[in-house]
Chains A and B, each alone.
Chain A
Amino acid sequence: MARDRGEQNREWYATYKDDVKKEGKGFFPYAMLHDTIMGFVVVLVIIGLAIIWYWDADGVEPGVLGPLYTEPADPGTTDFVPRPDWYFYFLFYLLRIFEWPETVVIATVGIPTVLLILLLGLPFYDRSRERRPSRRPVAMIAAVLTVISMGVLTYKGATATEALGSELIVLVPEWAEEKGFADNDNAVEGARLFAVSGCLNCHIYLGSGVGALGAPDLSDVGDRYDQETLVRYLTNPAEFGNTVMGSYAYLGQENLNKLATFLDASTSDDG
């Protein structure tokens, strides 16, 4: 006669209780000593982190463990790039993956809710008595996949960059160095314009940028066009058969000249 699961469970647990009573060791002091050692290590790690953090950082200047605090909150900022604390990076990157308006609610509420429910319900859908990892392949594979995907999402979230002016403008000296136009003020000025005007929302320049809508890499654009043609191109891309890119005439003639000077200086022979 098959015994029902509850009866079996109670029997196994009774054996466990019996074994612990007969063969076990005292929680105090044996197991508790290990606990206390571990707790002490934790406290030391926390204090150590606090000291390193304070030692290496100075106010808003970050050290190895980041700044002591960032600038005061400015609810009206137009140049700040928000990032969450590290343990929300996975969620942050998840939000970037779901880049279609119809799917926003899946990333914000759907996936976290499903994960929480799966986690809460674990003992109720995994009801076998088996505890050995080698005999629980489904559970182990699920766990490994979860850890890997969390790790990847966290890494991607930590290294995610934007193609926006506030992040790109600091790259301008690097570009000037690489392309050898550092002593050409107009070109440097043009590079700044290039960085803040949203060009890299579609184009790519020296590895920065999005590469969307079929926009070409502009790192060597100077090989293909001269300065005058570039001004004309920027003023009216349609003249060159480009109907995707809009006109940049609104930047004004002076700015267009600078921008074209920069693009013209961006050649493959590095200056």
Chain B
Amino acid sequence: MAKRKTRRQQIVDLAVLAPLDWIDERTGAVRGTKWFLFRNVPRDVSWAQTLGFATLIAFLTQTLTGAILAMYYKPDPNSAYESIEHITNDLTLGWLVRGMHRWGASVFVILLFLHMGRVFLFGAYKYPRELQWITGVLLLATGMLMGFTGYLLPWDQTAYWATVVGINLNGTAPFAGPWLAQFLSSGPEIGGDTLAKWYALHMLLLPGAIFALIGVHLYLVTRLGVVSPPWSKEQAGRERPVAEPTGARAGLVRRGTEGGAK
């Protein structure tokens, strides 16, 4: 125990461990990270169970590329289209970042559906993961809304008319529909204020909601754990064969109705 530390260990202590301890003592962040990382999952988890993480990566791609695109995009009906042309054709690497954002959206939506399909197939929405499923469905809905609000922003023909139809879809809802439609288009029809409103929804409100939901979703995953594939022979929580009593002659001991020792 009294053995002196090597020089290398001393450096590691000083440069890495000490600052981490300092932070952990004041925030608990290191313990939290350990709680997230150093937990066990069933040993038979399948590749299909990486879809959730893949969806997260797609969303983070969207966050990053979206934030950068916002530095060049102009949410005004008279200049939005030109700024999109400018980003795509003139600015260095603008085409790549815009392309990533555009296609990242499709990939994100596909992954949302695949992930949901996997959870359904595995029956992973059952006790105690009901709330995880609900946050997931809400994430799917907000994700689709992100796609819908983002589709208007290039302000080209497809964008404009898809949005007209989308708003009027909401407008047909009984009772409140026409009011909702008029709110969404900032007036009886799409006008000068509509684009900025949708930009704010797309950039601020919906991503905020998605971040909050992802936080809850991830916390629940970590707290409740992931399931084994339902067809796995060695799945966690499998039903065990009833233990035969030992140390007594067969036939003399009756099996308990509850099975095994309780």
Do A and B touch, yes or no (CB under 8 Å, in the complex)? yes
In the complex, whether B63 has a CB less than 8 A from a CB of chain A is no
In the complex, whether A251 has a CB less than 8 A from a CB of chain B is no
- Measured in the bound complex, the distance between the Cα atoms of B102 and A130 in whole Å is 40
B38 contacts A53, CB within 8 Å? no
- Measured in the bound complex, the distance between the Cα atoms of B47 and A98 in whole Å is 40
A84 contacts B39, CB within 8 Å? no
- Measured in the bound complex, the distance between the Cα atoms of B129 and A126 in whole Å is 13
- B residues 167-189 near A (Cβ < 8 Å) are 169, 172-174, 177
From A101-109, A219-227, A261-269, give the one contacting chain B: A101-109
In the complex, whether A207 has a CB less than 8 A from a CB of chain B is no
B96 contacts A69, CB within 8 Å? no
Per-residue 0/1 for A38-54: is the Cβ within 8 Å of any B Cβ (1 yes, 0 no)? 11011101110111011
In the complex, whether A247 has a CB less than 8 A from a CB of chain B is no
In the complex, whether B29 has a CB less than 8 A from a CB of chain A is no
A73 contacts B137, CB within 8 Å? no
In the complex, whether B75 has a CB less than 8 A from a CB of chain A is no
Per-residue 0/1 for A8-28: is the Cβ within 8 Å of any B Cβ (1 yes, 0 no)? 010011011101110111111
A28 contacts B37, CB within 8 Å? yes
- Measured in the bound complex, the distance between the Cα atoms of B109 and A256 in whole Å is 52
Q: Which residues of B contact A212 (CB under 8 A)?
A: none
A108 contacts B172, CB within 8 Å? yes
A73 contacts B40, CB within 8 Å? no
Instruction: Give the number of A-B contacts (CB < 8 Å).
Output: 228
- Measured in the bound complex, the distance between the Cα atoms of B41 and A9 in whole Å is 19
In the complex, whether A250 has a CB less than 8 A from a CB of chain B is no
From B17-25, B52-60, B204-212, give the one contacting chain A: B52-60
B158 contacts A43, CB within 8 Å? no
How many whole Å from B194's CB to the nearest CB in chain A?
Answer: 11
In the complex, whether A123 has a CB less than 8 A from a CB of chain B is yes
Q: Provide the main secondary structure of the chain A interface.
A: helix
- B residues 43-66 near A (Cβ < 8 Å) are 43, 45, 47, 49-51, 53-54, 56-58, 61
A54 contacts B41, CB within 8 Å? no
A25 contacts B43, CB within 8 Å? yes
- B residues 140-165 near A (Cβ < 8 Å) are 140-141, 144, 147-148, 151, 154-162, 164-165
How many whole Å from A108's CB to the nearest CB in chain B?
Answer: 4
- Measured in the bound complex, the distance between the Cα atoms of B40 and A45 in whole Å is 30
Q: Which residues of A contact B227 (CB under 8 A)?
A: 16, 131
A46 contacts B61, CB within 8 Å? yes
A and B contact pairs by CB, cutoff 8 A, 7 listed = A27-B41, A38-B54, A38-B57, A50-B96, A65-B103, A71-B157, A130-B123
Interface residues of A (CB under 8 A from B): 9, 12-13, 15-17, 19-21, 23-28, 30-32, 34-39, 41-43, 45-47, 49-51, 53-54, 59, 65, 68-75, 77, 80, 82-88, 91, 104-105, 108-109, 116, 119-120, 122-124, 126-134, 136, 139, 143, 147
